[in-house]
Amino acid sequence: MQNWMGYELNEAEKGLVECYEKLASILQNEGEQLAPFEKRNALKALACLWQIANGLDMDPGQIYNMEIE
Amino acid sequence: MTTSPYWNPRHETFSREETQALQVHKLRRLLRWTIDQVPWQAQRLKEAGVEPDSIQSLEDLRRIPFMTRDQWMEAQLADPPYGPFLAAPKEAAIRYHMTSGTTGRTPIRVLDDLKDWEWIAEAWCHGFWGFGIRPEDTVFFAFSYGTFVGFWGAHYCCEKIGCLVLPGGNMTTAARVRQIMDMEATVVCSTPTYALRMAQEAKSLGIDLAKGPVKRVILSGEPAGSIPATKQLIEEQWGAKAGDTAGMTELGTIMMFECEHQPGGAHIIENHFIEEVIDPDTDEPVPYGEMGERVVTSFGRGFIPILRYRTRDFVVKVPASRCSCGRGWDIYEGGIRGRVDDMKLVRGTNVYPRAIEAIVREFPEIDEFQIHLYTADGIRDEIEVLVEIPNQDVEREGLLARLDTQLREAHEGLRIDVKEVETGSLPRFELKAKRVKDDRIVIGGSGEKRES
């Protein structure tokens, strides 16, 4: 997995970016199935993982639409 | 990797070319988001002929129109409470903050969501980690925890780093000093003014801070954090290293920090911001080493996109190579040098409060001071510096004469009266100090009346 600058992510970094993508996908597509404690904690985790994806130059986009009930 | 001196080793050690490539990429992304989400901004950008794909280099940044604080305040008044700047529905927000009101009558109001709030802490992490703060530290915040954003982001940064955080809101100065000692805080965060205030209080309590547990003092909120004499005084009184940071409510976080190598300035956090320095009169960029006004573009706070915001701060940018820490991020030599709005014209001479403080702090016998401007005989501007000298053993006459001479020499021979006032009679400050008292009824020599 490479970022837009051509930097090759190591296995640990790749795993974290995949976590971010998976979490974003769940919240985007299956968020309605989640209990309050599941959804709000997942959103908080997503906000932290966003910082990693951003710091690795993976263009994580914006996530505001997932944060509205 | 956790022993790295850098919070984000790759970004912080980028070459200039890599940093600029990152900035151009993020700028295009920011423009796309802004044009899609903020009609007020989209209109301005359209009128200027700016499209995301037209940005090929940082030179193209200059085609983006400036945004000023006046525009922000006017648009906010016309469309209260937040103005037309929000790029996301306010239902997504989790935090509200407002400016402290240093400049302008209307506070600027801002919102952040979970992700922006984490980003705010992230920017602080660059600074705290870079100044040597680590998970084993115990950090005391001498901060009131209100709607002024102040050290809020730094608090969350310390939690993120894994420090033990001591939130020192709603406490007397004496209680704060005692808690710092009792809980063995290794780091204290405060304004420069309040760091000195706590040192005064410690003395009166019979506590020798220099023999205490504090190893680092993180300063923010006032330009004084980078005035060498003020910083030296803080370091002597606390027996600790003092590091400067600077941020803005408009950004939500800091955009510069002093690293452990302390090269005489603060690194710009260039993976999250573009910082330009321009001539405030011509709007043209100034080269390295010349004083100009900061203009900031921020990539982090998606809720309120910031493009080329005129900060009114005076800075001098120098290359990253000035520092031996290995970071590729340029430096603001001497931190924030003052504000465009701070300058006072007294009988034709420019007077900057920071310059006066730099001289006054050369005299450790002076505890507190105030710059007082007033009108004499209904027409003439006068300036006096009022000082408190608590130690009765100090020889007054010589000290006041030396201060008088130094102030005069630094201001083209301008007569600046120096007077001692009763100890404890001048105001003390917890947040941003206001040491200029302008009682003039006429500005300058032309008879121009004050507007407010």
Using one digit for the tens of pLDDT, what is the confidence trace for B48-105? 999 999 999 999 999 999 999 989 999 999 999 999 999 999 999 999 999 865 554 6
Domains of chain B: 1-339 (3.40.50.12780), 344-451 (3.30.300.30)
Return the residue of A nearest to B9 by Cα: A55
Residues 6 or more apart from A26 whose CB is under 8 A from it? A34, A42
| Total-model pTM | 0.88
For residue A47, give the nearest of B10, B21, B114 by CB distance.
B114
pLDDT tens column, B423-448: 999 998 876 788 999 888 755 444 44
pLDDT tens column, B3-58: 899 999 999 999 999 999 999 999 999 999 999 999 999 999 999 999 999 999 99
In a mutational test of the A interface, the residue from B20, B31, B114, B272 whose CB has the highest number of chain A CBs within 10 Å is B114
For residue B302, give the nearest of A48, A55, A64 by CB distance.
A64
Whole-number pLDDT of residue B1: 59
**Mean local confidence (pLDDT), B322-340:** 94
Give the CB-side neighbour count of residue B119, counting CA atoms within 13 A: 27
pLDDT tens column, A2-52: 999 999 999 999 999 999 999 999 999 999 999 999 999 999 999 999 999
Whole-number pLDDT of residue B353: 86
Residue B449, pLDDT > 50, answer no
**Mean local confidence (pLDDT), A50-67:** 93
B6 lies within 8 A of chain A by CB? no
Spatial separation of the C-alpha atoms in residues B25 and B309, rounded to whole Å: 19
Q: Which residues of A touch B126 (CB under 8 A)?
A: none
A5 lies within 8 A of chain B by CB? yes
pLDDT tens column, B347-373: 778 888 888 988 998 899 998 999 999
pLDDT tens column, B136-172: 999 999 999 999 899 999 999 999 999 999 999 989 9
- Least Cα separation, residue B119 to chain A (angstroms): 7
Encode burial over B352-377: b for 16+ CB neighbours within 10 A, e otherwise.
bbbbbbbbbbbbeebbbbbbbbeeee
The verdict on ipTM greater than 0.85 is: yes
Instruction: Judge if the upstream peptide bond of residue B84 is cis by omega within 30 degrees of 0.
Output: no
Residue B375, pLDDT > 80, answer yes
How many CB atoms are located within 10 Å of the residue B47 CB? 9
